[in-house]
Amino acid sequence: MALERGCTQVYTGNGKGKTTAALGLALRAVGRGLKVCVFQFIKGGGPYGEHLIAGKLAPLFTIIQTGQPGWVNTKDISADRRIAQEALVRAGKLLTSGDYDLFICDEINGAAGFGLIDVEQVLELIRMRPEKVELVLTGRNAHELVIEAADLVTEMREIKHYYKAGVPARTGIEM
Amino acid sequence: MALERGCTQVYTGNGKGKTTAALGLALRAVGRGLKVCVFQFIKGGGPYGEHLIAGKLAPLFTIIQTGQPGWVNTKDISADRRIAQEALVRAGKLLTSGDYDLFICDEINGAAGFGLIDVEQVLELIRMRPEKVELVLTGRNAHELVIEAADLVTEMREIKHYYKAGVPARTGIEM
């Protein structure tokens, strides 16, 4: 099947649940026979649970990681920017390839926030979205122009987080 | 594998992404070999994408629907309350059965909001959580006592929603 009409969704904010909401969308879409690509920016680490499960959901589910294994080098972003710029070109090609009904750019807002890609490039990606493709952008601090360009925006607001109570990131829950 | 330490998470608010965040957690957890149960209150309709995919993720993924096929009859909640009360007993048994590492009570906040279950019963469920089980509660209008009892709370805040632009619930995205 295919979507009759696609939209652009944004999940932003400082709370837990942005990437997982996108993954849940992916799960539901695959259940309906839609073809899904989760394209991750600044997420070269892992593999995490979402990567380990990919094979079970194939061929409808594809997950692609980009970025260095560690976190962004905020003191010198040049290497991270080069990788993110290449990733963005690749994401644009995949978004418009006709191969996917749901295309998720995970942490693209984070990549923009770090200056690895420009806000105008994110807006260009939104404009490139084919009519019947659903585009989902995640990551905190979504730019106001991205929010303006999107059809749906949810802010995940942290009310309470257990890391403040000393609970570390846990395998199977956070990764 | 099993979790070394479980927590109670709440996803509430009026924005899109609560159930999908829980489903994404489920996907990640299954990828790590954790046993997951998604127990849905007031969701007798469908099947939706998350139900149709269940077989592919079995035996680690179980999804259970409770509630009437339509929406809650707010004029006379007696039938819905009876169903939700039975569901709650069943959820408590499953939560403590040792069969699951991640137990998701989807829309339990909604069920409480409609008066189908009492807030004290939700708190009792939270108290029943075995130490190594992760409990996730979703639904808008989580009671302040539930928020207080939880370890992590994210409010999904609607910034913009496409239903206001006339986009209906779409198969593969909302259901």
pLDDT tens digits, B50-98: 999 999 999 999 999 999 998 899 999 999 999 999 999 999 999 999 9
In this structure, is residue B78 part of a structural domain?
A: yes
H or E segment and range at residue A90: helix A78-95
Residues of A in contact with B40 (CB under 8 A): none
Please tell me the predicted confidence (pLDDT) of residue A97: 98
Are A57 and B56 an interchain contact pair (Cβ–Cβ within 8 Å)?
yes
Q: Name the residue in chain B with its Cα closest to that of A57.
A: B56
In this structure, is residue A116 part of a structural domain?
A: yes
Nearest residue, CB atoms, B172 vs list A29, A53, A155: A29
Write out pLDDT tens, residues A16-43: 999 999 999 999 999 999 999 999 999 9
Query: For A45-71, what is the mean pLDDT?
Result: 95
Domain of B139, CATH number, reads: 3.40.50.300
Residues of A in contact with B157 (CB under 8 A): 13, 154-157
With a cut of 70, list the residues of chain B below it in pLDDT: none
In this structure, is residue B75 part of a structural domain?
A: yes
| CA distance to B63, B92, B125, per residue, from A171 (Å) | 22, 25, 24
Residue A123: domain span: 8-157
The structural domain count of chain B equals 1
In this structure, is residue A43 part of a structural domain?
A: yes
Report how far residue A43's alpha carbon sits from residue A40's, in angstroms, rounded to the nearest whole number.
6
CA atoms within 13 A on the CB side of B149: 19
Are B21 and A21 an interchain contact pair (Cβ–Cβ within 8 Å)?
yes
Report how far residue B21's alpha carbon sits from residue A19's, in angstroms, rounded to the nearest whole number.
8
Strand partners, A65: A40
In this structure, is residue B90 part of a structural domain?
A: yes
Mean pLDDT, rounded, of chain A:
97
Nearest residue, CB atoms, A21 vs list B3, B24, B52: B24
Helix-helix angle B119-128:B78-95, to 10 degrees: 10
Give the three-class secondary structure for A159. strand
Please tell me the predicted confidence (pLDDT) of residue B1: 80
Shortest distance, CA B148 to any CA of chain A (angstroms): 9
| CA distance to A42, A72, A89, per residue, from A79 (Å) | 11, 9, 16
Shortest distance, CA B118 to any CA of chain A (angstroms): 23
In this structure, is residue B145 part of a structural domain?
A: yes
Residue A1 confidence (pLDDT) above 90: no
